[in-house]
Structure formats: C-alpha cells, structure tokens
C-alpha cells in the first residue's frame, strides 16, 4: 500500500456480482456477501431474472445490503428505428427493476455501432438521443442514471463513450439532475486528462466507483481483469482523487476473469477482495 494513502473503511467495499458469477447464483452471492461482511452489492439483470426480481430484492433487504448499482442499461444504438425503440423499452424496464431492487443508480453501458455500421458519430448521436429519452422517465421516478465510459477497445461493439471528458460533455448537454458517471478504473486509468475530468465531474456527477486492475500482459480484451494489486493501476490514487471531490460512496469490485478468479472458490475470491481492498485502495 502507498504510504501516502490511508486504508479505506472496510464497510465501503461492494461486490459487483459478475466477480463470482460463474461459481454462484445471485442468491448464493447475496448470502456470501452477508457471511463475509461485504455490505454492498451490485447485481446484473440476468442474474436477478434467474431467481426472480421480487425474491432478489427481498433477499438483499433481509441481509441488510446496500445496492450500489444495477447492471445494466444502455445499448441504445440500433440499425433502424424499431431497434432503437426496442432498446429504449428495455431501458424503461431496467429503470423499474433498479427501483424495485433499491439501487443507488442504473449503470449505462451505452452500446457501440450497429452491426455492419462504420458510423461512430451516428452511434454517438443515438446514444445521446436514447439517454435524453430515458431521462424523461428516470427523472420522474427518481432513478439516477450513471453512464460508464469504457476503454476505447470497446468503442465498436460495447460503448462509444470512451472518456470521462465525453461523459462529462453528455452531462453538460443533458443536465446532471439524476444523471452522472460510473468511474471504472479499468476503463479510464490510462487517460492523461483523467484527474482534470474527475474534478470537472465533481461530487454531483460521481455516482459510482468501480475497482479492479489492468494486467500486463492482458490476454483477453474482456475476460482478463486483475484483482486489485495484481496490475498497474494506481487505484489508491484514483480513490483519493474522487474522494477529494466529495465522493463518499462504495468501492465496487468488478472482475471478469475467465482464466483465474472465475475458476477459484468464491469464498476465496470474496476474502481476497476484502484483503486487497484494504491493501490496494
């Protein structure tokens, strides 16, 4: 641990359920978080659907967990108007699910270019229009939307919003009432303007803080994220930067690791998350 940074409060740790999704169902993850005294959880929609929304919401409440985010909305661009409307309808449902489960925000992975397209500017316009339409509903019902900028390697297929600067631009245009940013260190650590953009976002826009590490070498563009401390990201420095702006929320571990952590005992994974959170964040 960098001596310049104090350890984070243990109760600030949250588990994104993707971190152990291959080993446990959501009901087992909820019970595991409670057993290991991890106080936050961020479930994915498919895992919620597997056990049922009402049951998931009740279990989370009964175990006293805070829902730090709900994964995910977005994926707005489509090849035609019918596809765009279908994506928007699905996002309305995601907002309703996030409300029922008690989420602090609905995380948006906005989508890339429609299949066969090379028009990234058009995809970004569709993202703008989709979020603008969704905000009309989410603001009425009181569910904050948190856009997550993804690493540029995902610009074509997963998210054409790739920097904190562009996410801030969208907040400027669409307003930051109930609309902000989920900062995932894995996606933005490399950006030379990152700290300026964290300051620009400020307390109001910083809705979520996701942690893991960038491995060198990285062997898979999606499924080779590292446990905190195993890679090159200055996680403690970025935590200090967001907290300097007033962020006081959870530190959410989100690890996709097909060759490593998804093959380990989930209890071992959770214990390691707790240890590394204190050591590396």
CB atoms near residue 39 (< 10 Å): 20
Q: How confident is the model at residue 5 (pLDDT cuts 50, 70, 90)?
A: confident
State the average pLDDT over residues 45-65.
98
pLDDT of residue 3: 47
Q: Quick one: pLDDT at residue 51?
A: 98
Q: How confident is the model at residue 210 (pLDDT cuts 50, 70, 90)?
A: very high
Please write the tens of the pLDDT for every residue from 78-122: 999 999 999 999 999 999 999 999 999 999 999 999 999 999 999
Q: Which pLDDT tens digit goes with each residue over 230-244? A: 999 999 999 999 999
CATH superfamily of 10-280: Divalent-metal-dependent TIM barrel enzymes (3.20.20.150)
Pick the range with the lowest mean pLDDT from 2-11, 24-33, 116-125, 212-221. Answer: 2-11
Length of the chain as a residue count: 281
CA distance 91 to 100: 14
Strand spans (E) along 69-228: 70-74, 106-109, 145-147, 179-184, 206-211
The fraction of the chain above a pLDDT of 90, given in percent, is 98
């Amino acid at each position: 641990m960098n001596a310049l940074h104090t350890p984070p409060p243990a109760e600030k740790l949250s588990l994104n359920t993707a971190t152990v999704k291959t080993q446990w169902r959501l009901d087992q993850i909820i019970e595991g978080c409670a057993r290991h005294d991890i106080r936050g959880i961020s479930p994915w929609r498919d895992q919620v659907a597997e056990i049922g929304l009402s049951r998931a919401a009740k279990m989370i409440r009964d175990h006293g967990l805070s829902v730090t985010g709900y994964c995910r909305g977005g994926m707005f661009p489509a090849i035609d108007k019918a596809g765009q409307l279908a994506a928007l309808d699905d996002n309305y449902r995601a907002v309703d699910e996030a409300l029922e489960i008690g989420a602090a925000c609905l995380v948006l992975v906005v989508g890339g270019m429609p299949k066969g397209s090379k028009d990234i500017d058009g995809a970004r316009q569709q993202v703008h229009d989709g979020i603008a339409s969704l905000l009309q509903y989410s603001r009425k019902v009181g569910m904050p939307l948190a856009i997550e900028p993804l690493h540029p390697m995902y610009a074509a297929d997963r998210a054409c919003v790739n920097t904190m600067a562009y996410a801030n631009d969208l907040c400027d245009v669409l307003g930051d009432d109930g609309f902000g940013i989920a900062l995932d260190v894995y996606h933005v650590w490399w950006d030379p303007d990152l700290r300026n953009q964290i300051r620009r976002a400020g307390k109001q826009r910083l809705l979520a803080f996701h942690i893991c590490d960038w491995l060198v070498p990285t062997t898979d563009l999606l499924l080779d994220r590292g446990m905190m401390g195993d890679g090159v990201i200055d996680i403690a420095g970025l935590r200090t930067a967001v907290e300097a702006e007033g962020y006081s929320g959870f530190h959410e571990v989100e690890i996709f690791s097909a060759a490593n952590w998804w093959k380990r005992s989930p209890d071992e994974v959770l214990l390691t998350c707790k240890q590394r959170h204190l050591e590396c964040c």
